[in-house]
Amino acid sequence: MIRKIEEIVKDNTLKGEDKVSMYKVQDKKTYYDFYSLLMLDAIDKNSYQEYKNGYASTPQRGVETISSIENGYLSHRDSLKNTNFLEDEQWVTTGSGILFEDASTEIEKLNGVQLWLNLPLDIKMAQPEYHSIKNDYIKEFSVSNAIVQLLKDDYISYQGPSSKYWPVDYHIIHLCKENKIKIDTNDDKTVILFSEKGQFQIEGKTVEERTAIKLTRGNFVEIESLSTDIEILLLSTYGQSQPMVWGGPVVLNNN
């Protein structure tokens, strides 16, 4: 059965004062609709002044933080003594608590996405971990006029670098203009799409740039590009129905 659009979220409110300016696409206002996906920020800055201070040093607990950089660089350091020059992907399991910051360098532009996944109650206080994921470890293959990059996909039994605590399928889809692609999905999982670049259509309905959508149940989705090349993030994961208490960068199940 084909998946269709169930919900659309497009906030695009620009956030950030002394930190990186970003578009807050999805957060606590829509958490219970998007289940495990707590927050999705889009970074799309073309001036160094807009992100020169980077992400300030922040304590985080109870979530998985995934950062993907398309253009530009961030310098990562944390309380586990990890340091990394981030130009690809990084996956941080904050678990019982970690302090980290991502600082920018003086470059022409910075584009990317950061998202938070909720950790369920039984593993909320897991040991914090940091994973730097270089492009060499991301599976890439061509489908028709598209390039699909896989960080992980249980449906086709591809296990790339990812957290060991909560399963999420992570695709980056590059599709040429005026083309279609079909992606098979697990009917039991919630599927979320985010338009990083350009507009696309699902079953004749147009999705604008920097927009997140939740799809209905089904075992595949068809994506159609319009007049420009597009880049889409596809996330697939199991839902959670546990209570949540959210205080800044700390997400727990009770007070």
pLDDT (0 to 100) of residue 89? 79
In the predicted structure, residue 230 carries a pLDDT above the cut 90: yes
pLDDT (0 to 100) of residue 105? 64
Number of domains in the chain: 1
In the predicted structure, residue 13 carries a pLDDT above the cut 70: no
Residue ranges making up the domain that contains 159: 5-252
What is the CB-side half-sphere exposure of residue 193 using CA atoms within 13 A?
32
In the predicted structure, residue 162 carries a pLDDT above the cut 80: no
Distance set, CA 211 to CA 7, 12, 178, 225 (Å): 11, 8, 19, 15
pLDDT (0 to 100) of residue 106? 66
In the predicted structure, residue 32 carries a pLDDT above the cut 70: no
Rounded mean pLDDT, 113-117: 83
Structure tokens at 108: 């022409």
Task: Residue 109: give its domain's CATH number.
Answer: 2.60.120.10
